[in-house]
Amino acid sequence: MQQLKLIPKVDRVLEWEGVRRLLAEQPRELVLKAVRQVLDLLRAGARAGSLDDAAFAENAVCAAVARELRMLTRPSLRRVINGSGIVIHTNLGRSILPEAARDALNTIAFSYSNLEFDLDEGVRGSRYSHVEALLCELTGAEAAIVVNNNAAAVLLTLSAMAAGREAVVSRGELVEIGGSFRIPEVMRLSGVTLREVGTTNRTHPKDYQNAVNEDTAVFLKVHCSNFAVLGFTKEVSAEEMVELGKKAGVPVLADMGSGNLVDLSGKLPCPEPTVQDFVRAGVDVITFSGDKLLGGPQAGIIVGKKHFIEAMKKHQLLRALRMDKLTLASLEATLALYRDEMVAFKEVPTLRMLTATLPELTARARKIAGQLRRRTPDAVSFKLTDGFSQAGGGTLPLLNLPTMLIEVAVDGLSPNDIESRLRGMEIPVIGRISKNAFLLDPRTLQDDDLPDLAAALTALVG
Ligand SMILES: *Cc1c(COP(=O)(O)O)cnc(C)c1O
């Protein structure tokens, strides 16, 4: 309690050289707030008897105020280092963009552009035109349009194709995606009546046939993105649904969720249909995300038959769901890489990370651990151990991708201490804890993360 006398007055702190320097750079109110917070902490420390007298000295207080001010002024949305091994980590921003998107973003963000200007005719143009031709070229569809995310794409599609009428969906496909996107709720929102058919594990062609009446507007197929039903199951394929739709005069709509454009067979041990497969099968309208397997920015992509897409282009909802120019620029740059599948596998980070092989990851883990050993104090140690990474983002739920993990140990710290302190760093590092070990997965560590990762690990000691 004696230390309470050591706490300086606010006015005095504001006159100290170290704080005057801060006042020259930041608004007075903000500096004042930082000073008060530091003095509150000193008061609490003095009462608890948890501080040395040195903590009350001018230099220590000035340093604490500067630190507090940095916390108050740093952006809320910050870069983090993803060592979790979850490639499409929804909480960490899903996909990171390919390098090609950097130039596109830089140019379009800081210049005027032909966003809605037809340069050939000199008249008003459409923002959707910039990616439509490319999407058609890549998927084989007749027409395309893009909105904010796949939830918006499903909402717009259902509103345009089935409002006031019925959509037939298998009970096995009434999914909820993380962030409480639920197919039945979205239907209600679009004014569509849900007609459930089949059972949780088995749905047959005749279930769709029997559901048809004069109010039937669409057959909807939903990708079971984030779960799998195993065992005694029966799903009606896209081809069968198209066949049934043709007979009944009902269009088929598919929410493909992850939106894969490349042949993943031979690269991943689980089948994932492509958008092209569904277009070829004759599905009328297909929606998918831009930032899941596609590896681009957050977007909802709709491809399909021209007359359906044209109706969406005229729909009032589109204005509320429309995509901004930065997303369009980075989406166009990402999609362009898919013109050559080899290029996409190399240049799109999400695809590159997902398809990295165990030998590649083992070499990478060795290299990273070696570099970290050289750049961190002896109290930090590294060991390689096998494990699995995940796709994440509600995609490929059964997929366990073999990887080589880097186990990090620090003298005097538990795995939980390491986890929480790395998460609290200036550039936070996100890893995972398994079997009482703190682990980093080289699959999702980026090359330019290394210096910052080494700095964070060094800061754990002392
Ligand atoms: C992820 C997903 C959505 C939602 O997509 P967002 O782009 O996150 O809005 C909808 N349907 C399915 C099947 C999904 O997998």
Average pLDDT over residues 365-382: 98
Average pLDDT, the chain: 95
Q: Judging by beta carbons within 10 Å of its beta carbon (0-12, 13-18, 19+), is residue 58 exposed, middle or buried?
A: middle
Indicate the top mutation candidate among 88, 94, 177, 293 to test ligand 1's pocket, ranked by most ligand atoms within 8 A of CB: 177
Which two three-digit tokens encode residue 363?
């070499």
| Distance between CA atoms of residues 287 and 221, nearest Å | 10
| Distance between CA atoms of residues 135 and 146, nearest Å | 10
Res 398 pLDDT > 80: no
Which two three-digit tokens encode residue 263?
């042949």
Ligand 1 centre to CA of 106 (Å) is 28
Using the atom order of ligand 1, give the atom closest to the CA of residue 256. 13
Please state, as a whole number, how many other Cβ atoms lie within 10 Å of the Cβ of residue 210: 11
pLDDT digits (tens, 9 = 90+) for 303-355: 999 999 999 999 999 999 999 999 999 999 999 999 999 999 999 999 999 99
Give pLDDT, residue 256. 95
Ligand 1 centre to CA of 107 (Å) is 29
Using the atom order of ligand 1, give the atom closest to the CA of residue 258. 15
Q: Is 169 in the pocket of ligand 1 (CB under 6 A)?
A: no
Indicate the top mutation candidate among 181, 278, 323 to test ligand 1's pocket, ranked by most ligand atoms within 8 A of CB: 181
Local structure of residue 83 (DSSP, 8 states)? -
Res 381 pLDDT > 90: yes
Range with lowest mean pLDDT among 104-108, 235-239, 382-386: 235-239
Are the beta carbons of 87 and 349 closer than 8 angstroms? no
Indicate the top mutation candidate among 150, 185, 190 to test ligand 1's pocket, ranked by most ligand atoms within 8 A of CB: 150
Q: Is 151 in the pocket of ligand 1 (CB under 6 A)?
A: yes
pLDDT digits (tens, 9 = 90+) for 102-117: 999 999 999 999 999 9
| Distance between CA atoms of residues 276 and 271, nearest Å | 14
Give pLDDT, residue 2. 84
E strands, 269-333, in order: 285-289, 300-304
- Only one residue has tokens 């689980």, namely 270
Res 397 pLDDT > 80: no
Closest Cα to atom 12 of ligand 1 = 257
Task: For residue 393, name the pLDDT band (cuts at 50, 70, 90).
Answer: confident
Ligand 1 centre to CA of 170 (Å) is 17
Q: Is 287 in the pocket of ligand 1 (CB under 6 A)?
A: no
Calculate what percentage of the chain has a pLDDT beyond 70: 99
Q: Judging by beta carbons within 10 Å of its beta carbon (0-12, 13-18, 19+), is residue 436 exposed, middle or buried?
A: exposed
Q: Is 223 in the pocket of ligand 1 (CB under 6 A)?
A: yes
Q: How many residues does the chain have?
A: 462
Ligand 1 centre to CA of 93 (Å) is 14
Give pLDDT, residue 262. 96
Res 453 pLDDT > 90: yes
Between 135 and 394, the higher pLDDT residue: 135
Q: Is 419 in the pocket of ligand 1 (CB under 6 A)?
A: no
Using the atom order of ligand 1, give the atom closest to the CA of residue 290. 7
Give pLDDT, residue 215. 97
Beta-bridge mates of residue 124: 117
Q: Is 177 in the pocket of ligand 1 (CB under 6 A)?
A: yes
Q: Is 225 in the pocket of ligand 1 (CB under 6 A)?
A: yes
pLDDT digits (tens, 9 = 90+) for 251-267: 999 999 988 999 998 88
Q: Is 64 in the pocket of ligand 1 (CB under 6 A)?
A: no
Kindly give the pairing relationship between strand 401-410 and strand 380-389.
antiparallel
Ligand 1 centre to CA of 319 (Å) is 20
Ligand 1 centre to CA of 80 (Å) is 24
Q: Is 289 in the pocket of ligand 1 (CB under 6 A)?
A: yes
Q: Is 221 in the pocket of ligand 1 (CB under 6 A)?
A: no
pLDDT digits (tens, 9 = 90+) for 61-102: 999 999 999 999 999 999 999 999 999 999 999 999 999 999
Average pLDDT over residues 244-256: 97
Are the beta carbons of 444 and 353 closer than 8 angstroms? yes
Q: Domains (ranges, CATH) in the chain?
A: 2-73 (no CATH), 81-90+353-461 (3.90.1150.110), 99-347 (3.40.640.10)
pLDDT digits (tens, 9 = 90+) for 33-57: 999 999 999 999 999 999 999 999 9
Ligand 1 centre to CA of 147 (Å) is 13
Res 178 pLDDT > 80: no
